Amino acid sequence: MLRSMYSGISGMKNFQTKLDVIGNNIANVNTYGFKKGRTTFKDLVSQQISGASAPTNGRGGVNPQQVGLGSQLASIDTVHTQGSLQTTGRPLDLGISGDGFFEVSDGTNKYYTRAGNFYLDQSGDLVTSDGLFVQDTTGAKINIPVTAQSFSIGSDGKVNYIDGGVLNNSAQVRLVKFSNTGGLDKAGGNNYLASTNSGAPTLGAPGDANGLGVVQAGTLEMSNVDLSEEFTDMIVAQRGFQANTRIITTSDEILQELVNLKR
């Protein structure tokens, strides 16, 4: 069979994966704290037709002759660029301006998220929409007594509340930073898990010396998906897919001509 046919098949598979990633980005264009994905390709091994030769006294050097055998998936990256902060006015909505993740826990596992739409349960614990507890700088739950008349969260993550006419400080929101944020595993529900390539988490408070960002109460970080970029990439992927199908069609026509030689 012709090598070009298999090259076309590999290209079609890669562009299909690229369209899958683009579709997921567009589906999450309004997901708080979502970080878009990016697909990159690389070429497959090339078949050696003839090798290179060095120049001699009577003849110059000759370059190698190779035929490429298609493309393959190089990476599916998560692009951790800052999303825009949308003002909500809700005191439990927290947006991170800068680096870092909120640390949340189900009591056993630690998760990391940029989505700061938090809530209070019936015990006054600060939780996510899935009921995961938001961690403070000591690794404990953050509690605002149900009897508190009012509360606020500062840019340094400190939670202040007034209970019985007395100003209290309950806790300070923890932020976590990784040396390789691209190495985090997506766990669903706007959450990430540390992996063997993300590096150990650096724990701290908003705005501290570890280079962590600050917390903006009353805001939420929007998705960093750019629709104009995604639609452009979709067109490129669609045309690339069509071009590879054309390669297969042309290769099939050539094979048909070879079969017809016998007639």
Query: Average pLDDT for residues 197-210, to the nearest whole number?
Result: 88
Query: Cβ–Cβ contacts within 10 Å for residue 37, how many?
Result: 19
- pLDDT, one tens digit per residue, over 107-133 is 889 999 999 999 999 999 999 999 999
Query: Cβ–Cβ contacts within 10 Å for residue 30, how many?
Result: 9
Q: Is the pLDDT of residue 68 over 70?
A: yes
Query: Cβ–Cβ contacts within 10 Å for residue 104, how many?
Result: 25
Reference 62, options 51, 71, 70; nearest CA is 51
Query: Average pLDDT for residues 247-259, to the nearest whole number?
Result: 86
- pLDDT, one tens digit per residue, over 18-60 is 999 999 999 999 999 999 999 999 998 888 888 888 988 888 8
User: What CA dihedral angle connects 43, 44, 48 and 49, to 10 degrees?
Assistant: -70
Strands 71-78 and 37-43: antiparallel
- pLDDT, one tens digit per residue, over 164-174 is 888 888 789 99
- pTM of structure: 0.87
Q: Is the pLDDT of residue 209 over 80?
A: no
Please report the pLDDT score of residue 132 as a whole number.
95
Task: Please give the mean pLDDT across all residues of the chain.
Answer: 91
